[in-house]
Chains A and B, each alone.
Chain A
Amino acid sequence: MEAPAVASPYSKEQLLTMYRKMYLIRRFEERAGQQYTLGKIAGFCHLYIGQEAVAVGPIEAIRPDDYMLSAYRDHGQPLARGADAGMVMAELFGRGTGYSKGKGGSMHIFDIEHHFYGGYGIVGGQIPLAAGMAFASRYRNEDRVTVCYFGDAAANQGAFHETLNMASKWKLPVIYICENNRYGMGTAISRTSAVPEIYKRASAYDMRGEPVDGMDCLKMYEAVKDAAAWCRAGKGPVLLEANTYRFRGHSMADPATYRSKTEVEEERTKNDPIPKLRAYALKNKLGADADFEAIEEDVKAQVDAAVKFADESPEPSVEELWRDTIVDEGEQDVRPRERVLGVKVTNWPKYPSGQELKVTWDLEPREQAEQADKKAGLSR
């Protein structure tokens, strides 16, 4: 047998972890879709099938304590960051054992223990939030990055442009990942965008912007690894455009008749990120068929258990209606795995008190401001 020309920079363990996470998302979403058709899940349910690499590559490239948030197509990222699959499924089922006690549903998964700060249902609404989280990191002089996902259609929101301007001006450590799956609901992005290559828009804000093959987990991994180092070095934000494709409709309610069968089939057969990663590992002898089959069996059992857990869980109590609107004095934050599974959650985020914290960041150094004044012929 021929030895690979160049040794892979990845370990077998790394590749198998990525494979496991992508397969977990795929399997979870397939079962979620099935449970939706059985009437166990209601409302809007947006599946991630086809886009798994866009979540998994970046998550493997950043630290567990880096902040992350997403839009409403939000089951994949928390699962890949280590959320309990049963509790995510329970949230989809509207049960009290879900991450948000069944109050948020499919579009609002929050797993703060794993630094996943939510799924947001207003297109583009999470984009400024991510800048604020990155702002907090700079303010506290932490080397944390924030990774923010949003769709191609969200790039036409004012929130996107306003935020890129601030993030670039203030050099905030935030990585924006536009998941360009070519459609916003039923509208092809090219039909509504003067510049459909989203990454190019970064240049308007003197910001780093790049396209990435979003159907390749390793390409996503490399792009985000590099972007994270850039952010941590204080060089400012990065916009990545992950060119990807969703194999299913916009949501479970969408038969996706606005695109051709051949287009979908092409992507499914030639570009599916899961077999792609497997082929790479096999080629580089960093995994055997038996390894992948074992992972698949394992994940199937995990997802079966998740569905069972959700199905057997009770709805939230009606008294829950009156909680979680206003924080009462002295009220603690809810730690979902502690509340539901009774396990001790130890890595809950902690922030320095206002007495401990020393702010050293000079966001607009006086000298710089005065120079700008001088250039403009002004005196203060």
Chain B
Amino acid sequence: MPELMYREALNQALAEEMERDANVFLIGEEVGRYNGAFKVSQGLLDKFGSARIIDAPISELGFTGMSVGAAMVGLRPVVEMMTWNFAILAMDQIVNNAAKLRHMSGGQLRCPIVFRGPGGAGGRLSSQHSQALEANYAHFPGLKVIAPATPADAKGMLKAAIRDENPVIMFEGERLYALKGEVPEGEHVVPLGKADVKREGTDVTIITWSRMYYFCMEAAEQLAQEGISAEVLDLRTLRPLDEEAILASVRKTNRVIIVEEGWALAGVGASVVDIIQSKAFDDLDAPVERVTGLDVNMSYAANLENATQPDATKIIAAVKKVLYREGA
């Protein structure tokens, strides 16, 4: 299997879907002649032309709403958000229009559209540019929300998102774009709504998604050396949550921690805890632990930035807490 960078996997998904379906177009800031702020759309303008790879003005609300309108009448837009921080300006069009069109029209309209771009801390960019905002979108009925961690999932889930009949919000990782992994060629479609056990284990379940996945794998490796067998469940889709996969893993290991880059209050992890306590309470041998970003704004200084985010050390401590092996 070829090894690709995360950004190349996305590029491949876009190119394949645009090749397959002329209704698909890409719009966003710098996606065309600049080849993408993170080079996800490298080479696509030359391949597909200026009506299908569109350099938009810096008008997030405007071009997002315009794309929603195009989706209402049969096109399948992919809207690139330079980062999700800027997409806050477009939230009205996503939440009040895209997510509600099917409902307001009583089933007359559909809105097949993908909003995608990087989320999470970019690295030394301070508070306005370093936010994990997926929980905001996971809140809304009418949307699907995905956050793949690996290049293979990035490709397969973007292809599934473009083919989906609903608005799909895709969080990529600003720090994941250059990361390499094996990616199946051609028709590789990963169904939305399905979590993936990325590492099997028996003592504890670590639930996570997106970039935090790599800290979790690092922690699991280290724990293995201490004889602790951790299962890593990559949610991949945050709306709808894969309850079945979550509960199956909880029933297997009886101990759970949830690792989330974003803030704890009203985070996605809080909802996962809720599912577990209401449907698998008797399977738990310890209260569920959460490792989240600290409840502060992100700083520029390297030490403060690091301290704000989850890392393998924090994850290991949480695992030991649910195993009652603190200090071990």
Using a CB–CB distance below 8 Å, which chain A residues touch chain B?
67, 98-104, 108, 110, 112, 117-118, 120-122, 125, 127-140, 158-159, 162-163, 165-166, 169, 323-327, 329, 331, 333-336, 349, 351-359, 361-366, 369, 380
- Contacts A110-B108, A129-B68, A132-B66 given; does A326 touch B166 at CB 8 Å: yes
Distance to closest chain A CB from B21 (angstroms): 3
Q: Give A355 to B24 CA distance when docked, in angstroms.
A: 11
Q: Sample 6 A-B pairs with CB under 8 A, ordered by A number.
A: A99-B106, A108-B105, A110-B106, A131-B66, A163-B59, A329-B165
Distance to closest chain A CB from B217 (angstroms): 32
Nearest to B98 among chain A residues (CB) is: A129
Distance to closest chain A CB from B63 (angstroms): 7
The answer to whether B51 and A362 have CB atoms under 8 Å apart is yes
Residues of B within 8 A of A133 (CB): 69-70, 72-73
The answer to whether B23 and A117 have CB atoms under 8 Å apart is no
Residues of A within 8 A of B63 (CB): 128, 162, 166
The answer to whether A136 and B75 have CB atoms under 8 Å apart is yes
Interface size class of B (residues with CB under 8 A): 35 or more
Q: Of residues 98 to 120 in B, which have CB atoms within 8 Å of A's CB atoms?
A: 101-110
Among all A-B residue pairs, the 5 with the closest Cβ atoms: A132-B69, A128-B65, A162-B62, A354-B21, A351-B74
Beyond A125-B97, A132-B65, 19 additional pairs, beta carbon < 8 A: A104-B104, A112-B109, A117-B109, A122-B97, A128-B63, A128-B93, A136-B69, A158-B62, A159-B62, A159-B65, A159-B92, A163-B66, A165-B59, A333-B107, A334-B106, A353-B23, A354-B21, A363-B50, A369-B33
- Contacts A112-B108, A132-B66, A162-B57 given; does A354 touch B20 at CB 8 Å: yes
Using a CB–CB distance below 8 Å, which chain B residues touch chain A?
20-25, 32-33, 49-52, 54-57, 59, 61-77, 92-93, 96-97, 101-110, 141-142, 144, 165-166
The answer to whether A324 and B54 have CB atoms under 8 Å apart is no
Q: Give A122 to B99 CA distance when docked, in angstroms.
A: 14
Q: Give A333 to B142 CA distance when docked, in angstroms.
A: 15
Residues of A within 8 A of B66 (CB): 128-129, 131-132, 135, 163, 166
Residue from B21, B65, B68, B142 in contact with A326 in the complex, judged by beta carbons closer than 8 Å: B142
Nearest to B107 among chain A residues (CB) is: A334
In this complex, the member of A120, A135, A137, A139 whose beta carbon has the largest number of chain B beta carbons within 10 angstroms is: A135
The answer to whether B97 and A120 have CB atoms under 8 Å apart is yes
Q: Give A169 to B93 CA distance when docked, in angstroms.
A: 21
Distance to closest chain A CB from B243 (angstroms): 16
The answer to whether A132 and B33 have CB atoms under 8 Å apart is no
The answer to whether B49 and A355 have CB atoms under 8 Å apart is no
Q: Give A131 to B57 CA distance when docked, in angstroms.
A: 14
Nearest to B25 among chain A residues (CB) is: A139
Nearest to B95 among chain A residues (CB) is: A122
Q: Give A108 to B77 CA distance when docked, in angstroms.
A: 24
Distance to closest chain A CB from B192 (angstroms): 11
Q: Give A162 to B92 CA distance when docked, in angstroms.
A: 14
Q: Give A73 to B144 CA distance when docked, in angstroms.
A: 31
In this complex, the member of B22, B62, B63, B70 whose beta carbon has the largest number of chain A beta carbons within 10 angstroms is: B62
The answer to whether B102 and A349 have CB atoms under 8 Å apart is no
Residue from A120, A158, A363 in contact with B51 in the complex, judged by beta carbons closer than 8 Å: A363
Nearest to A135 among chain B residues (CB) is: B70
- Contacts A132-B65, A357-B23, A359-B49 given; does A333 touch B109 at CB 8 Å: yes
The answer to whether B55 and A125 have CB atoms under 8 Å apart is no
The answer to whether A351 and B107 have CB atoms under 8 Å apart is no
Residues of A within 8 A of B25 (CB): 139
Nearest to B53 among chain A residues (CB) is: A363
Q: Give A125 to B64 CA distance when docked, in angstroms.
A: 11
- Contacts A132-B67, A324-B102 given; does A166 touch B110 at CB 8 Å: no
Nearest to B112 among chain A residues (CB) is: A327
The answer to whether A129 and B106 have CB atoms under 8 Å apart is no
- Contacts A128-B65, A135-B70, A162-B57 given; does A335 touch B108 at CB 8 Å: yes
The answer to whether A349 and B22 have CB atoms under 8 Å apart is no
- Contacts A129-B68, A333-B107, A359-B51 given; does A139 touch B141 at CB 8 Å: no
The answer to whether B73 and A358 have CB atoms under 8 Å apart is no
Q: Give A336 to B73 CA distance when docked, in angstroms.
A: 17
Q: Give A369 to B166 CA distance when docked, in angstroms.
A: 35
Residues of B within 8 A of A325 (CB): 102-103, 141-142
Q: Give A356 to B109 CA distance when docked, in angstroms.
A: 22
Distance to closest chain B CB from A80 (angstroms): 19
Q: Give A166 to B137 CA distance when docked, in angstroms.
A: 26
Residues of B within 8 A of A139 (CB): 25, 51, 70, 75
The answer to whether A355 and B22 have CB atoms under 8 Å apart is yes
Distance to closest chain B CB from A249 (angstroms): 24
The answer to whether B106 and A122 have CB atoms under 8 Å apart is no
